[in-house]
Amino acid sequence: MGESWRRIAVSLAVRVVAGTLIALLSAWSATLRKQTRQLERLDRYIAEGHQVLAVFWHGKYAPLFALASGRQAVVITVDSFRGQVIGKISRWFGYRPVLLPAEVKTRGFPALVEQVESNAKLIALALDGPTGPLQRIRSGALKLSSHHGVKLVPIGVASSHKLELTSRWDRQVVPLPFSRVVIAVGDMIDLSRLDSEAGIPQMEDIVRSGMDAAEGDAEAILRGKPQK
């Protein structure tokens, strides 16, 4: 009986928190000056028949809910209170959330592979999520590309005025209302093309370079120097 009440209480709490955040995100997003033209590159990759894993740093995910809405993306998170809240927010903005098992190290990767095998065209994943360390690239994304041919696409985000939450592990960046926010979409990365002897460190270097380039492109566009 006690467990049933606990589940009901958690479910209600998730709904309340998610509903509040959805209202805040919607109102906040309406004030932003969005520059999302490069998302056309992401659409083109998918139209060309590629299976895409859009990757970004956890600290930059906040504006992506609204800025990339309307795309049939699978959003990967972890089955926890926080993950359930993210799942409800994702549904509101038109995405399909997939909550990985809490024991992500042992069961998370098979769940990712299941999404690939179900032919999801676009999957979104924070490279260093859900708990860090900061900008530490998780191996799941690397394995999806190297073993299953999924194309990694780095996503960069930049904003003209922002608040950085330095007390959080991911140093989350929140664009301030009425600021200009830019999304940059990098070149596709296909780790399956690497030599079979390539190890995780080499893959990490390639992906990190792609992430740095996407972040640099976003900052350049923000300064009025369009890329590509």
CB contact at 8 A, 84 and 53? no
Q: Per-residue pLDDT tens for 52-92?
A: 999 999 999 988 988 888 788 899 888 889 999 999 999 99
Sign (positive or negative) of CA dihedral 159, 180, 218, 129: positive
CA dist 168 and 60 (Å) reads 12
Q: Per-residue pLDDT tens for 19-38?
A: 999 999 999 999 999 999 99
pLDDT interval class at 39 (50, 70, 90): very high
CA dist 193 and 223 (Å) reads 35
Average confidence score pLDDT of the chain: 89
Q: In the CATH hierarchy, which top-level class contains the domain 2-222? A: alpha beta
CA 136 and chain centroid, separation:
14
CA dist 177 and 32 (Å) reads 6
Residue 200 has pLDDT above 90, yes or no: no
- Spatial neighbors of 54 by CB under 8 A, at least 6 apart, are 42, 73, 122, 123, 124, 125, 153, 155
Residue 209 has pLDDT above 60, yes or no: yes
pLDDT of residue 1: 56
Q: Packing angle between helix 139-148 and helix 109-117, nearest 10 degrees?
A: 40
The domain spans of the chain are: 2-222
CA dist 77 and 100 (Å) reads 6
Greater pLDDT, 158 or 120: 158
Residue 4 has pLDDT above 90, yes or no: no
CB contact at 8 A, 42 and 185? yes
The token duo for 89 is 């927010």
Q: Per-residue pLDDT tens for 151-195?
A: 999 999 999 999 999 999 999 999 999 999 999 999 999 998 887
Question: Phi-psi bin for 82: left (phi > 0), alpha (psi -120 to 50), beta?
Answer: alpha
CB contact at 8 A, 46 and 122? yes
Q: Per-residue pLDDT tens for 128-146?
A: 988 889 999 988 889 888 8
Ranges of beta strands (E only) in the chain are: 33-35, 52-56, 74-78, 96-100, 122-126, 151-159, 162-164, 173-175, 180-185
